[in-house]
């Protein structure tokens, strides 16, 4: 084959290969697994422990370069699913347990720790070992200005947002994130319009900078996901509301 033709075809081959890799990857295996083992946000870890599909899906993640996926939504859905799937793997490595906070490594437990579970380099993506903290903070929060990810990343605790019984996907991502936010504000926060008191999730405190810079801005952010009457009070009179933060329940989100 003439050299000129080779030089012409080489970039085309690379492009076609990348396109094939991007279109071949799906979250179907993870989606089916979640459908079978998650109900109302609770996980049947006992059954999941013997289901080979989780490891099959993790093997897909390990050999996929998310940069080859064809949209920003596809890449964000990929990383959210990766975080949630590897969190399940971490829990299963030591299950049964009462809380993720006792995990110090794959198959290792110890005294409850605020950092150890999220610093285990167990998440292999495109051949690179990452911690859950790296996925959340160094990748997702750095690349996407999307506060609703905090209602989609699930840390396997009862005070987290609930785990969906389906995988995230590019086609449904906006709807899924909106539904997660609405569920989170309805079920992980309480609002008393008569007393104008808001008892908020610690997630809104820990990641305050992702949502707002002031209490008033935080309440206005919450308002977009709440019923109209309550939202109106929060928008019009945020300064009259008192904010407190609820204790965080780290009990495992098991069925």
Counting Cα atoms < 13 Å in the Cβ hemisphere of 7 gives 3
Q: Which of 164, 158, 151 is nearest to 37 (CA)?
A: 164
Could you tell me the end-to-end alpha-carbon distance of the chain, in angstroms, rounded to an integer? 62
What are the tens digits of pLDDT across the range 206-253?
A: 999 999 999 999 999 999 999 999 999 999 999 999 999 999 999 999
Q: Which of 168, 189, 192 is nearest to 179 (CA)?
A: 168
Average pLDDT score over residue span 88-100: 98
What percent of the chain lies above the pLDDT cut of 70? 91
Residues in Cβ contact with 245 at an 8 Å cutoff, skipping those fewer than 6 apart: 199, 200, 201, 202, 204, 205
Question: Does the predicted model carry a pTM greater than 0.85?
Answer: yes
What percent of the chain lies above the pLDDT cut of 90? 91
* pLDDT over threshold 80, residue 181: yes
Structure confidence at residue 12 (pLDDT): 37
Assess contact for 121 and 70: CB atoms under 8 A.
Answer: no
Structure confidence at residue 24 (pLDDT): 74
Question: Cis (ω within 30 of 0) for the bond into 104?
Answer: no
Mean pLDDT estimate for the chain: 93
* Residues written for the chain: 255
What are the tens digits of pLDDT across the range 164-174?
A: 999 999 999 99
Band (3; pLDDT cuts 50, 70, 90): low
Is the model more confident about 22 or about 150? 150
């Amino acid at each position: 084959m003439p050299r000129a033709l080779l030089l012409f075809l080489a970039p085309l081959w690379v492009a076609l290969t990348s396109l094939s890799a991007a279109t071949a990857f799906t979250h179907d295996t993870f989606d089916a697994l979640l459908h079978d083992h998650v109900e109302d946000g609770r996980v049947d870890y006992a059954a999941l422990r013997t289901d080979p599909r989780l490891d099959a899906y993790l093997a897909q993640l390990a050999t996929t370069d998310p940069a080859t996926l064809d949209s920003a939504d596809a890449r964000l859905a990929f990383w959210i699913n990766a975080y949630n799937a590897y969190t399940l793997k971490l829990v299963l490595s030591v299950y049964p347990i009462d809380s993720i906070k006792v995990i110090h490594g794959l198959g290792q437990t110890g005294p409850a720790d605020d950092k150890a579970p999220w610093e285990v380099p167990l998440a292999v993506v495109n051949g690179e070992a990452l911690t859950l903290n790296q996925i959340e903070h160094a990748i997702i929060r750095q690349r996407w200005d999307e506060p609703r990810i905090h209602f989609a990343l699930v840390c396997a605790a009862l005070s987290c947002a609930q785990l969906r019984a389906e995988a995230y996907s590019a086609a449904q991502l906006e709807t899924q994130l909106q539904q997660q936010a609405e569920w989170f504000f309805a079920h992980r926060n309480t609002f008393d319009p008569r007393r104008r008191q808001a008892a908020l999730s610690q997630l809104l405190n820990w990641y305050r900078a992702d949502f707002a810079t002031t209490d008033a801005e935080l309440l206005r952010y919450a308002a977009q996901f709440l019923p109209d009457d309550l939202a109106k009070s929060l928008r019009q009179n945020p300064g009259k509301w008192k904010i407190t933060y609820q204790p965080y329940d780290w009990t495992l989100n098991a069925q």
